[in-house]
Structure 1
Amino acid sequence: MRTDQILTRLERVFARLDREPERPAHLQTPQMSRHRVVLFGSTLAFYLAIVVAVLTTSWLVRLDWQIMFFRPYEQWPQLHAFLDYLVVLGQRGPTAVMVAAWLGWRSWRQHTLRPLITLGVALLLLNVTVGSVKLGLGRLGPHYATEIGSAELFAGGDIFPSGHTANAVVTWGILAYLASTGVTRRVLSVVSAVVSLSVGATTVYLGTHWVSDVLLGWSAGLLILLALPWFEPLIARTEAYVFDVRELLRRRAETGRMPAPVVSALTPLLSAGGKWRLEPAAAEAAAEPAPAVPAAVHTPAPRPTPLLTGRPHVIRSERTPVTPAGSRRPAHGERAAARSAAARPVAGG
């Protein structure tokens, strides 16, 4: 007869989650190599060149207006329905949820929090850098432009650089950044490049962004991906801190330290079959039987605190019943004689 315990699927999941975090040996953390530094510097120079070209209302701004007047969505209207769905791949909410779900599964499989923490750091950098430039330059989009040929800067807009484009570069490029093999990294790099290029071109087709917005969005997202190795020490420290906190909480749960009032309140639950774990001292106190009191022995009620007087104070029930023989006040005749004696002086010899 087979007596092995058959674990359910939920029990297997919890058993795997309870395992100690063990990073596979083939996973390597990207380093800030010389090649990456050169790419970062080149992308940063391209980024600054686009900003200067828009600030000076150069040929790039004229190109923006030419494509805006061309109205691609009117030239190829049959693509409009499809591209309306394609541009969702650049929205921050849906893409972050999809990528976080995939990286969460990888974190569970590889017993490491690095994929999720890296995604969080990348999105934080994206919000800070792109958001600050958007609000600082305040450029209006093509649908809200007011002056032909103008760069539409410092007008209260938030269109430059393109957030859809930068988000597509970061969220899909993070998959290639975290790839564990060279082949997977190359394939995911091509896929992320195609998605980010498609999202950027789609925003120009729909007329929601200028061409210069998309160019700056591509360079902004690429800068974040290239700078991630500088944040790897911070990611490692964050992961170690999270695991330390998790281990501390686990130890506290195992020791089951609870105050005495809580222990006394949970005693009925423990007697009813509960599985709470108590402190050793509290468990011994709860397990120790109470001393038996003989039935014939009468336990008197506690006496009240005595008053600070010359004689002890007793309660009414303990006083000796005394029946007075007569009235404590003297008779009327005696009281009259006493008053008359006090009123008349006594003659002395």
Structure 2
Amino acid sequence: MRIDRIFARLDREPEPPKIEIPRMSGTRKVLFGSTLAFYLAIVWAVLLSSWLVLLDWKVMLFRAYEQWPELHAFLDYLVVLGQRGPTAVMVAAWLGWRSWRQHTLRPLLTLATSLLLLNVTVGAVKIGLGRLGPHYATQIGSAELYAGGDIFPSGHTANAVVTWGILAYLATTPRARRWLSVLSAVVALSVGATTVYLGTHWLSDVLLGWAAGLLILLALPWFEPLIGRAEAFVFAVRERWRSRGAFVPAVPGFSGGVPGAAVPAGAAVTVPAVLPGATEPAAAREPVSAGGSRYAGTRPASQGVPAHLQASAHLQARPHAARSERPSVAPAGSRRPPQPHKGGTHAPHATR
């Protein structure tokens, strides 16, 4: 199938039902506040080197990757579901397809907004606290803060929560939203636990990563007006570019135009009754013989017409005659030779 036919088929897709944009309801505000309190509690516990830091060391010294080495190969692939590059490409491809089918940029703009918030919030805490990872720890029982690291909170975990959770956030039906919420939660929990198994993150890193990603998903309704204005701006720019390029080549010599000049699309084109250089109107060229060719004995249309106008001669106006008034286009006589044995009109009837 040709590509243009595929595009034409997509353009004829029916408009989807009205998509309900999530709002910042009371329940969502309560969840946001609770998650924010949990986030701050984790940060405070690590800053004070409390029992949570001691738990981090106990889990790290357990070395799960040595206890169950047979899982190592599989979990090395599973943790890719939390890497920002591969997951962003996969999810953006799916949301791009949805944007095309639904004739809206909201899915892609929502994904871009969530990833921007993720980079800013998580990146700022990572750089500000500078915590070292388990493989680079120097003192047992220490929180390893302000040492030039970038491990707290876990970026893999937060990215898994946001990237896969955005699919549930953008779901158009309650059933799809429920199933996608369960799927994204399983993926995020698996990625966070895998980083602890591999020894690349402390347990508190993963807990804070889960909270950081959930805060972004819960806060997205506050950014919906901004997303709507950005979509309207992009569409307005597209329409302006389309209006600037909406020109078609002009017919040289018509409408007083200069050969090669452009005429706006949809503008009326005036066809003169007499072409420039011609000596008689096009309507005067009538057949001279009903038994011959329709234009037999007529002066050729190209005679006396400049070379650059001869290609437009088919555009000239001609009178429209009724069917009964139209002359015959067949020659005077029949082209078939007489056949006496069939009793045609050209042979006399045999005497009986």
Root-mean-square deviation over aligned CA pairs? 2.6
Correspondence for 1:113: 105
SS in 2 for 1:148: coil
Q: Higher relative contact order by CA 8 Å / sep ≥ 6: 1 or 2? A: 1
Correspondence for 1:11: 4
**Aligned partner (choices 59, 71, 74) of residue 63 of structure 2:** 71
**Aligned partner (choices 237, 257, 262) of residue 278 of structure 1:** 262
> What amino acid is the match of 1:240?
A
> What amino acid is the match of 1:249?
W
> What amino acid is the match of 2:222?
W
Correspondence for 1:215: 207
Matched, 1:36 2:28: yes
Structure 2: distance between partners of 1:289 and 1:95: 66
Q: What does 1:122-271 correspond to in 2, within 5 Å?
A: 122-255=114-247
Q: How many residues align?
A: 265
Q: How far off its partner does 1:256 sit?
A: 6.2
The CA deviation string for residues 305-331 of structure 1, in whole angstroms up to 9 with x for no partner, is: xxxxxxxxxxxxxxxxxxxxxxxxxxx
Structure 1: distance between partners of 2:237 and 2:14: 17
Q: How far off its partner does 1:17 sit?
A: 6.2
Q: What does 1:327-346 correspond to in 2, within 5 Å?
A: none
> What amino acid is the match of 2:6?
V
Contact 1:22–1:112 (CA<8 Å) still a contact in 2? no
Contact 1:100–1:116 (CA<8 Å) still a contact in 2? yes
The CA deviation string for residues 235-291 of structure 1, in whole angstroms up to 9 with x for no partner, is: 11111111111111111111369xxxxxxxxx8xx7xxxxxx8246xxx9xxx979x
> What amino acid is the match of 1:38?
V
- In the alignment, structure 1 segments of 5+ residues that lack a partner are 1-7, 258-266, 271-276, 293-349
Q: 1:289 to 1:204 in 2, by over 3 A?
A: farther
Structure 1: distance between partners of 2:105 and 2:197: 39
Q: How far off its partner does 1:113 sit?
A: 0.8
Contact 1:139–1:153 (CA<8 Å) still a contact in 2? yes
Correspondence for 2:89: 97
- In the alignment, structure 2 segments of 5+ residues that lack a partner are 250-258, 270-274, 278-303, 305-352
Matched, 1:53 2:45: yes
Contact 1:23–1:112 (CA<8 Å) still a contact in 2? no
User: Which of these two proteins has the greater Rg computed from alpha carbons?
Assistant: 1
* Percent identity of paired positions between Structure 1 and Structure 2: 76
Contact 2:135–2:199 (CA<8 Å) still a contact in 1? yes
Q: How far off its partner does 1:194 sit?
A: 0.2
> What amino acid is the match of 1:50?
I
Contact 2:10–2:101 (CA<8 Å) still a contact in 1? no
Q: How far off its partner does 1:22 sit?
A: 8.0
Structure 2: distance between partners of 1:38 and 1:213: 24
Q: 1:140 to 1:22 in 2, by over 3 A?
A: farther
Give the structure with the higher percent helix.
Answer: 1
